[in-house]
Structure 1
Amino acid sequence: MTIAWDAAGDDLIVESDNLEFVRTLPDASFRLIYLDPPFNTGRTQQLRSVSATRSTSGSHVGFHGQTYDVVRRVLAGYDDDFADYWAFLEPRLEEAWRLLADDGTLYLHLDYREVHYAKVVLDALFGRDSFLNEIIWAYDYGARTRSRWPTKHDNILVYVKDPRNYVWNGSDVDREPYMAPGLVTPEKVALGKLPTDVWWHTIVSPTGRERVGYATQKPVGILRRMIQASTHEGDWVLDFFAGSGTTGAAARELGRRFVLVDSNPEAVAVMRRRLG
């Protein structure tokens, strides 16, 4: 286990099996917990780079007939295939319930393959009354199948520890444009609307400034919205599968403190570079 504090001694990055580490933490320590576990897709998740170099024998033709060789490289990846996915995830959900403050909120980020099983498990663990939302994060980027409707969304289940007492700052979150601005007043268009449970938000562009070189990096805007809604300034946020460190980046931007855990040394190196 490797632990790194930031210079101020507030925030924490931990290289460890997350279950091993979080079992050392005291009960009710976090106002918000975000879990973005591997989706159990059965394939290796990879971040690839593509570059082109001029070549007289290249297979790709560009401007003015110039030919290029295209080189594809794998930068980072992990194996997203578990023989028994729920034997892996369920004890981590149990720890998340224990670690949530009495007015805390859990955000569990999955996709269509596992989300219905997760709902059953979390209903049993938290109680059905503690289910707050299922958020659909919709985006429009990447490969498209020709054999069915292309899948372009993730599912985020939101549960609260106590359905009668939880932090909710929904009016504080970043607003978004109206999809039909002609149907509302100019004043409303200028202000924007509060998000619903369907979030239209682009993924992190492979060539964008936000990209830090991690295969499954999530955009800061998605995490910022969760943290704005479900925490106060100075609160602690925990991420079990911290990956690229987006939770920490959003928390720091909003004046929250964070604990980020990941067993992958590549992920920890990315987080240290990103978060200083």
Structure 2
Amino acid sequence: MPAAWTPESSSRVVHADNLEVLRALDDASFTLIYLDPPFNTGRKQARQTTTSVRSDGGAGSVTGFKGQSYERIKGDLLRYDDRFDDYWEFLEPRLIEAWRLLADDGTLYLHLDYREAHYAKVLLDALFGRESFLNEIIWAYDYGAKSKNRWPTKHDTILVYVKDPARYYFDSTAVDREPYMAPGLVTAAKAELGKLPTDVWWHTIVSPTGREKTGYPTQKPEGVLRRIVQASSREGDWVLDFFAGSGTTGAVAASLGRRFVLVDRNSEAIEVMRERFAAVPGVEFV
């Protein structure tokens, strides 16, 4: 990163290859990391290699977080999907850096679709440890084409892993409540208060004519990110998104009093974020 980042820095948007930026950041710097990487739709991804992986003793390196077991799991999955090798070689070193950058009370949210979610779950179990798995969130929506020859695909998956299962931060009471689907089945007081969200989130996509729309093709709605930021970070905490896209993570973090680092190598994304954060004080563009 051209200018050194510290926990005392201003919120920052970085135009660069995210792996280079991640390797320049300090260990355990972020309470929350949200990732919405490009989905594996058959496009070739750039290959990356890494030798820096988790080591409980703090020294040396091994072939994976779980040694030979990890390599065996990875090998087994590769036999099932010949596209997965390219995608995982791209994503794996970035997830290794994400684990390093999470604070001891930190949480990772990995947003994927049906093409990769099941593979990523098995491999994240190997990378982070099965005991670090917290939730599989289903974000359900109803927009787009209606398939006639199969059940229409109308959801994404968000995998949630924590750095330390004994120390992670989570505050469900801070999350905006939602209406009961059958308010007549609860008391009037409960219906007025609303209920806490479960692991299935019904939330519309970004409206093509709505206030949120930036024009960026893969923009995610603020309501989805708001729940994540509210539950898994506190005011003043640092939030990281290194597939930043339109900058929704940063916009929500700023509105809730969090600080953020956003990274994207796409010039179009950077221009969208420049416009989006023009009225937000203290945001640096690097």
TM above 0.5, one fold?
yes
- Aligned residue number for residue 69 of structure 1: none
Task: Normalising by structure 2, report the TM-score.
Answer: 0.80
- Alignment identity in percent? 75
Residue equivalent to 1:268: 270
Contact 1:42 1:82 in 2 (8 A): no
**Given residue 181 of structure 2, which amino acid in structure 1 is its aligned partner?**
M
Q: Which residues of 2 match residues 175-254 of structure 1 at below 5 A?
A: 175-254=177-256
**Alpha-carbon offset, residue 166 of structure 1:** 0.7
Q: Which runs of 5+ in 2 are unaligned?
A: 44-82, 279-286
Q: Describe how 1:86-97 pairs up with structure 2 within 5 A.
A: 86-97=88-99
Letter in 2 for 1:11: S
Q: Say if 1:95 and 1:157 are closer, same or farther in 2 by CA, change over 3 A.
A: same
In the TM superposition, 1:20-35 aligns within 5 A as 20-35=20-35
Higher Rg of the two aligned structures: 1
Aligned-residue offset at 1:13: 0.2
Q: Which residue of 2 aligns with 1:38?
A: 38
Structure 1 pair 133–147 and aligned structure 2 pair: CA distance change class (3 A):
same
Q: Greater share of strand residues, 1 or 2?
A: 1
Shift of 1:42: 3.1
Which residue is equivalent to 1:120?
122
Does the Cα contact within 8 Å between 1:137 and 1:201 map onto a contact in 2? yes
CA contact (8 A) 1:2 1:14 kept: no
C-alpha distance in structure 2 between counterparts of 1:82 and 1:14, whole Å? 28
Rate the CA distance shift 1:231–1:94 in 2: closer, same or farther, 3 A: same
Residue aligned with 2:20, SS = helix
C-alpha separation between the residues in 2 aligned to 1:42 and 1:224?
A: 31
What is the aligned partner in structure 2 of residue 98 from structure 1? 100
Evaluate the alpha carbon distance shift between residue 104 and residue 138 of structure 1 in structure 2; reply closer, same or farther with a 3 A threshold: same
Amino acid in structure 2 at the alignment position of 1:34: Y
Report Cα offsets for 1:161-214 as digits up to 9, x if no partner. Answer: 000111011111011010011100111111110000000000000111110110
Where 2:178 maps in the other structure, the secondary structure is coil
Alpha-carbon distance, 1:82 to partner? 8.5
Aligned letter for 2:133? Answer: F
The one-letter code of the counterpart of 1:22 is L
**Number of equivalenced pairs:** 237
* Residue in structure 1 matched with residue 138 of structure 2 by the alignment: 136
Q: Distance in 1 between matches of 2:209 and 2:84?
A: 31
Task: Kindly provide the amino acid, as one letter, of the partner of residue 24 in structure 1.
Answer: A
Unaligned runs of 5+ in 1: 44-80
Mapped partners of 1:103, 1:206: distance in 2: 37
The residue type paired with residue 196 of structure 2 is L
Pairing 1:11–2:11 present: yes
Question: Cα deviation per residue 1:101-134 (whole Å; 9 max; x = unaligned)?
Answer: 0110000000111011111111111110100000
CA–CA distance in 2 between the matches of 1:208 and 1:114?
30
What TM-score, normalized to structure 1? Answer: 0.82
SS in structure 1 at match of 2:110:
strand
Q: What is the one-letter code of the residue matched to 1:145? A: S
CA distance in 2, matches of 1:269, 1:11: 17
Q: How far 1:93 moved relative to its partner?
A: 0.6
Give 1:121's aligned amino acid.
L
Computed over aligned residues only, the root mean square deviation of the Cα atoms, in angstroms, reads 1.9
Inter-partner Cα distance in structure 2 for 1:115 and 1:93: 14
SS at match of 1:84: helix
Question: Which whole-Å CA distance do the structure 1 matches of 2:121 and 2:110 have between them?
Answer: 10
